[in-house]
Structure 1
Amino acid sequence: MDSLPNKKHYISWPIIAFLDFVTIIGFDDILYPLQNQGLSVVFTWIFMVVAFVIPYEMSVSQLGATFTDKEEGGLSSWVRHSTTDTLGYWTAWMYWAASLPYIVDVANSVIISFGWLITGNNSLGKQMSNFTFGLLTFIIILIFILLQNFFKHSMEVMATIGGGAMFLMTVLFVVMTVYSLTHGGQIATQPFNLSSFVPHLSLQYFSTTGLLMFAVCGAELVAPYLIRMRNPKKDFPKAMWLVALMTAFLTVFGTLSLAIFFNANDLPHDLKMNGSYYAFQLLGQQIGLGNFLLYIFSIVQAIYMMAQLAVLLDAASWVIAGDTAASFMPQWMSKRNKNGRPLNSYLLTSGLCLFLLLMSGTLPDINSIFNWLLNLNGIVFPFKNCWVFLAFIAVRLQADKFNSSFVFIKNKAVAIAVGSWCFVFSFLCALMSFIPQDVKFGTAAYAQQLLMNLFSVFVLFGAGLIMPFLARLEKRKQAKMSQLLK
């Protein structure tokens, strides 16, 4: 079926694009790689867009156009239908688990945005203890879980406003940067020549590439909403192309603009946490607007991050409450409340987010907490991406079984080769990202963060082994009850 005439409320493809855009990349995401790789990250971004982002977005487009039935599992449904139930379950679990560090990170960012909005400076880290920061983060997550149950379409509205406003703010930043340069502004990064853009290949360089992959991934997160589109087979690829174009613009031109205001060779130590606010503060001051642009951006950032949180909590919870094979998940995990929401999925999400908050609370300050949670995403997201390309390869190998209105790369052999490249690239980026960043090798902080990386990933992914065990216990109990009733 190409359309769904019985649906009362449709989501248009531009809104799907903005829903996707708010979960994929924001102004913050171009700051992290700049701190890690300097001006050479422009080259890395161009490479990523051509060699990974476009193949990734188009692979998701073909999968979305292939599986447009009424199942809510999204990526796990794609893998389950194209491979096996077991792989479908592990896709669902790892996809959901990979979203948890990002959920905590986004909730952190909500607090930081309000901190700048209230104080107009970076004093939050000095005024707030780790415990208070963690407690507020957890409270925000709980509040948004509750809001999901009362306001059905608030997520779409917030995502449209937040995604559109963030993209416009980025365009504004680029335009105003050009204006500043043409009116006497100076380039902070020196030298600003071709050699500065050449990457220095090293262990540090490769270990930070996973964070770039994290910054541009998340397109498949909107897969559960395909059944709420009027014509998903035709319109979903349009949304993916729009997301790819916006991502390319933001990463390349946004980075070039940042290098004009920041010395890429000597960046603030808290750039990952506060860099976007510094950028708009500097821009406003240089063009004579004071802190006006800073406050505008703080409002946009707050809405944008809250929209991200709403989409992430909703979509991620549907993944493990969707069509995952019943033999792997206990029935209570798919239980819905009176509003049709997966209640126990939300509770499990809250529990593991609390685990991450407790882990991060052992770090020395808020900036370290923010950086570690951010870097953890550079590990788990590339692992999650592997499932996207596994499903894409499986679908192309079974072309006679799966028909799609949109086909990425007509030649089967070339398509499989591209999918295989993206799979291997994702896996290697995930492994390299275990290496701690922002701390020096051989220090106690390095050893602590390495252990935290290993233990966190083990808990997040390894906890998936418990659900099949609980499902078997549940079936045994039900079998005993049925025998007693006889």
Structure 2
Amino acid sequence: MESSKKIVWYNLAFMAFSTVWGFGNVLNGYMYFNGVQVIFSWVLMFALYFVPYALMVGELGSAFKNSGGGVSSWIHETISPKFAYYAGWTYWACHVTYIASKGSGGLKALSWMVFQNSETYASFDTRLVQLATLGVFLLFCWIASKGLNPLKKLATLAGTSMFVMSILYIIMMFAAPAINPGGGYLHADFSWSNLIPQFDTKYFTSLSILVFAVGGCEKISPYVNKVENPSKGFPKGMIALAIMVMVCAILGTVAMGMMFDPADIANNFDAYNANGSYWAFQKLGEYYGMGNILMIIYAACNAIGQFSTLVISIDAPLRMLLDNEDARQFIPTKLLKQNKYGAYVNGIWMVVILSGSIILIQALVPSADTVLRQLTQLNSVTMPMRYLWVFLAYIMLRKKIKKFNPEYKFVKNQKVAYFFGFWCFFVTAFCCILGMYKEGDLFTTLLNVITPIVLTALGLILPMIKKREKTNA
């Protein structure tokens, strides 16, 4: 009976696939890495980063199968409570920039649903767009403060539907030439010389986009010991996940190559960054004689997904940080204040100030589409920083391997384990730091540099305030 409840390795792979991968990853890779040239980078990223990353997560999940706090729990067990606070803070702080992007993304999706073109949203005054974004953001902060999260179930539905739309795009795009031979498809150059990218400044400062795309598999760590024969089943599931993601990335890139000219993207980058996914489904609908129906469905799914993620991202990471008894000893008492609904009101105000500042600063940007590009790049720099704690936890786990003795081990050899832990830590840090620099765009570079510094400084200051509180008590 017990074995029937175990997760089979291929079911684990599908569970992880739906949480890790999305249509936007294909589009971003195609745009930032000169079309089909991204295939080379995807293969390297999967082989040298994603596979070891996923298998390390498996070992951590196996070692701490009874710890519900994820990365913070791992750091707590392997290092100390204070470092666990810093890990929890990093996870929360990363969502500050993420939250700022969700309102803009949701309004963009609504614009496509209503006006069914890219020009209308781009023509709006940036200041008015950012004020509207701020209004949406404050509304959802108010909803979160009332303990109301009506969009949580919709988030799951939207996430599933976006996953289905991503797979549907690839299938329909490959079938389109047979159904509509005169659709006007492009023919990408798949020669070896064209697939090798130029390893220049632009290439290395864009790698954070790919790291951001493949990260987040630590969410499935609680399922490691629920897998049938974990020592064999989990790595099989993760390797299957890597193959599935790589196949989707490559096939999705080939499908994009039939639609979009990389030279045109380079000349209109902000427009493609803001509208590329909608144009993709709009063109797909044209190939099948369906008009804009596919694009409208995609825009509706995206709007629901963006707004539901917004309210969840305001509430959930904050609760993960402030509900943690080990972290609370380093957090000022005022931030722990809860209202009658159980919401951390001062914590939400902190979100309002930090995320609201990013939204208002971007009112200075000349184009609403440019705002979306800047937020994509800012998230690609800040969000992967939380993965650093995963690799640090893994290094420390291997240092104390006899103490914890996980049922599943990524590799048995200690030196090989240390190599992969340090390698993935270095790649993540390297890509995040280089990703801060955007050639010819001082505003974006400053935003990418100042935001992590401010958030890190605030995380270091709070324990000092708490210590002063205790001294004066």
TM-score above 0.5: yes
Counterparts of 2:369 and 2:161 in 1: how far apart (Å)? 26
Q: CA deviation at 1:416?
A: 2.1
Partner of 1:432: 434
Counterparts of 2:14 and 2:341 in 1: how far apart (Å)? 25
Deviates more, 1:397-406 or 1:242-251: 242-251
Question: Counterparts in 2 of 1:339-378, with a 5 A limit?
Answer: 339-378=341-380
Counterpart residue type for residue 454 of structure 1: V
Q: CA deviation at 1:14?
A: 11
Equivalent position SS for 2:127: helix
Establish whether residue 194 from structure 1 lines up as the match of residue 192 from structure 2. yes
Counterparts of 1:43 and 1:140 in 2: how far apart (Å)? 40
Between the aligned residues of both structures, percent identity stands at 28
Counterparts of 2:346 and 2:11 in 1: how far apart (Å)? 28
Judged with a 3 Å threshold, the aligned counterparts in structure 2 of structure 1 residues 50 and 204 are, in CA distance, closer, same or farther, namely same
Asked if the contact 2:63/2:407 (under 8 Å) is kept, the reply is yes
Q: CA deviation at 1:413?
A: 2.6
Partner of 2:463: 468
TM-score (norm 2): 0.86
Counterparts of 1:350 and 1:405 in 2: how far apart (Å)? 43
Judged with a 3 Å threshold, the aligned counterparts in structure 2 of structure 1 residues 327 and 130 are, in CA distance, closer, same or farther, namely same
Equivalent position SS for 1:401: helix
Partner of 2:63: 66
Question: Structure 1 residue aligned with 2:29, among 3, 27, 33?
Answer: 33
Counterparts of 2:464 and 2:161 in 1: how far apart (Å)? 46
Partner of 1:400: 402
Establish whether residue 163 from structure 1 lines up as the match of residue 159 from structure 2. yes
Asked if the contact 1:158/1:307 (under 8 Å) is kept, the reply is yes
Question: Counterparts in 2 of 1:47-446, with a 5 A limit?
Answer: 47-69=44-66, 71-72=68-69, 74-148=70-144, 150=147, 154-155=151-152, 157-183=153-179, 184=181, 185-220=183-218, 226=222, 233-234=225-226, 244=242, 247-267=245-265, 268-269=268-269, 270-321=271-322, 322-436=324-438, 441=440, 446=441
1:190-231 residue CA offsets vs partner (Å, 9 max, x unmatched): 4343332211111111110011111222233577xx5xxxx7
Partner of 1:7: none
Deviates more, 1:187-196 or 1:79-88: 187-196
Deviates more, 1:451-460 or 1:389-398: 451-460
Q: CA deviation at 1:84?
A: 2.5
Asked if the contact 2:127/2:364 (under 8 Å) is kept, the reply is no
Counterpart residue type for residue 66 of structure 1: A
Q: CA deviation at 1:30?
A: 2.0
Q: List runs of 5+ in structure 2 lacking aligned partners.
A: 3-8
Q: List runs of 5+ in structure 1 lacking aligned partners.
A: 3-12, 479-486
Counterparts of 1:458 and 1:344 in 2: how far apart (Å)? 22
Asked if the contact 1:76/1:89 (under 8 Å) is kept, the reply is yes
Judged with a 3 Å threshold, the aligned counterparts in structure 2 of structure 1 residues 147 and 256 are, in CA distance, closer, same or farther, namely farther
Counterpart residue type for residue 472 of structure 2: K
Asked if the contact 1:189/1:264 (under 8 Å) is kept, the reply is no
Counterparts of 2:396 and 2:339 in 1: how far apart (Å)? 35
Q: CA deviation at 1:173?
A: 0.8
Counterpart residue type for residue 106 of structure 1: K
Asked if the contact 1:61/1:406 (under 8 Å) is kept, the reply is yes
Judged with a 3 Å threshold, the aligned counterparts in structure 2 of structure 1 residues 448 and 462 are, in CA distance, closer, same or farther, namely same
Counterparts of 1:153 and 1:21 in 2: how far apart (Å)? 26
Aligned residues: 455
Counterparts of 1:364 and 1:344 in 2: how far apart (Å)? 33
1:233-259 residue CA offsets vs partner (Å, 9 max, x unmatched): 315969977865654344222222111
Asked if the contact 2:149/2:311 (under 8 Å) is kept, the reply is no
